[in-house]
Each structure stands twice: as structure tokens, then as C-alpha cells.
Chains A and B, each alone.
Chain A
Amino acid sequence: LAKTTQPISMDSYEGQEVNITCSHNNIATNDYITWYQQFPSQGPRFIIQGYKTKVTNEVASLFIPADRKSSTLSLPRVSLSDTAVYYCLVKGPGGGNKLTFGTGTQLKVEL
């Protein structure tokens, strides 16, 4: 499983755009990049997944450069309710569907 590195914490204010970057230098050809969100006292929740370029859904955008050694989760116009821990995971189709969660990025949104 590819190792990921992301900031331990980030602070932002309501209405701002937040970008969380994840480094995954040893990503394999078949690996996908997946982000999860975890609110306090809840289980993680899938946010978005991508392989290359850009993916957008109703919650976030995921930007992946051509070399795929990093990825950026972009949250537009955050609100207080976006305060959570965000996990970046990299895994492909081999080796079962076991996931390895790091410590994630604690995002704190203030007024």
C-alpha cells in the first residue's frame, strides 16, 4: 500500500476555499486516490475518488497532477459543519479491499 503524507491540521474561516494536499510518491499504476471525512463521534464517510486529472462532485473537487505523486482535495466555501478530519488513502485493486488510514488532517473552520 502506498504511503501518504498530509498536514496534521489546518485552520480556515467560513466562506473560504480549503485545499488539503496529500503526498503519495510511491503510488502504483493501478492505485486510486480516495478521500474520507470523519466528524467527531462518527465513522468515516467516503467523499471522493479519482485516478487522474480532476474529479468533482457535490461535496468537493479532487485535483491530481499528471505524475500522480500528490493530490489536492478542494472544499469550496467551507462552513462550520466542514470541521472534521480528512483522510487521504491510496490503493488499487490488488490485495483485497483493506484500507490503511493515517492520522488524517484535522480541519477546523471558524467564524
Chain B
Amino acid sequence: NAGVTQTPKFQVLKTGQSMTLQCAQDMNHNSMYWYRQDPGMGLRLIYYSASEGTTDKGEVPNGYNVSRLNKREFSLRLESAAPSQTSVYFCASSEDQGSSGRLYNEQFFGPGTRLTVL
């Protein structure tokens, strides 16, 4: 199993450009998440999806859109990139809450996408 995969690994954009970050998981998880991590900071939740066809805002959703294409894939789109969106983006997935017994908080993370907006 590949776990959680993300593409691309690196990306440089100019201000105003758009792009989509792709994420896929092969663990049959219902829940998927997008986080951003700025230098020296913890992760902040952008959006999450509890199941196929549903999405919900996290702590920092402004400037982003998401699509839960199917159970495996959850994409993050920047419609008009800004320098403030320069960050490392992590995708994660997890089983349904409680479905694995007491492991409520076990999320599996991808390797990240390092995005620079000039």
C-alpha cells in the first residue's frame, strides 16, 4: 500500500496563478484532510471531508477550494495564489471516528507539497 500520496512535491507559482494539489489514499478511509504548515509553526486545518461528497471548512479556509472526487481522492485548489499561501501542504486521511476502537486521532499523512508563491 502506498498510503497517502500527494502531487506535486514542489511547485512555484506567480501571484494570481491557479493550481490544484492532488491527494489520494489507498487505505479505504472515509475521512480526508488538508493542512498547511508555515515555517516553525504547527499544522493548521484548511478543509476536511468526512465522506465522499461532503466537505467542511477548517481553521484557515479562505483562498482555497476543495473537491472530494471519490473516496480515494481529495484535491485542494488555489484559484488566485498569493504570497501568503507560501507553505507546505499536507494531506491526511483517517478511518471513521471510533471505527478502530480507541484510536480516535490516528491520521495518516502524505509527504507534503512545498509551494512557493512569488
Q: Is B53 an interface residue (CB 8 A)?
A: no
Chain A residues contacting B96 (CB-CB under 8 Å) are 97
User: Which of B41, B43, B44, B48 is the one whose CB lies under 8 Å from A96?
Assistant: B48
Contact between B42 and A51 (Cβ–Cβ < 8 Å)? no
Assuming the A-B contacts A93-B98, A97-B97, are A41 and B105 also in contact, with contact meaning beta carbons closer than 8 angstroms in the complex? no
Contact between A43 and B104 (Cβ–Cβ < 8 Å)? no
Instruction: Map CB proximity to B onto A71-93 as digits: 1 under 8 Å, 0 otherwise.
Output: 00000000000000001010111
Contact between B94 and A97 (Cβ–Cβ < 8 Å)? yes
Assuming the A-B contacts A32-B102, A41-B112, A96-B50, are A87 and B42 also in contact, with contact meaning beta carbons closer than 8 angstroms in the complex? yes
B87 to chain A, nearest CB (A): 13
Most A C-beta atoms less than 10 A away, residue of B41, B96, B106, B110: B106
Q: Is A5 an interface residue (CB 8 A)?
A: no
Q: Cα distance A104–B42 when bound, in Å?
A: 7
Smallest Cβ-Cβ distance to A103: which chain B residue:
B42
Give chain A's interface residue range (CB within 8 Å of chain B).
Answer: 20 to 34
Q: Is B107 an interface residue (CB 8 A)?
A: yes
Q: Cα distance A92–B98 when bound, in Å?
A: 10
User: Which of A42, A87, A92 is the one whose CB lies under 8 Å from B111?
Assistant: A42
Most B C-beta atoms less than 10 A away, residue of A41, A43, A46, A89: A43
A87 to chain B, nearest CB (A): 7
Assuming the A-B contacts A93-B97, A104-B42, are A99 and B109 also in contact, with contact meaning beta carbons closer than 8 angstroms in the complex? no
Listed in ascending order, the chain B residues whose CB lies under 8 Å from chain A are: 4, 31, 33, 35, 40-45, 48, 50, 56, 58-59, 90, 92, 94, 96-98, 102-112
User: What are 15 A-B pairs at a CB distance below 8 A?
Assistant: A32-B104, A34-B104, A43-B4, A44-B43, A44-B90, A44-B107, A46-B105, A46-B106, A49-B103, A91-B105, A97-B97, A98-B48, A99-B105, A101-B43, A103-B41
Listed in ascending order, the chain A residues whose CB lies under 8 Å from chain B are: 32, 34, 41-46, 49, 51, 87, 89, 91-93, 96-104
A-B pairs, top 8 by smallest CB distance, nearest first, are A43-B109, A101-B42, A34-B105, A101-B43, A46-B106, A43-B90, A97-B97, A103-B42
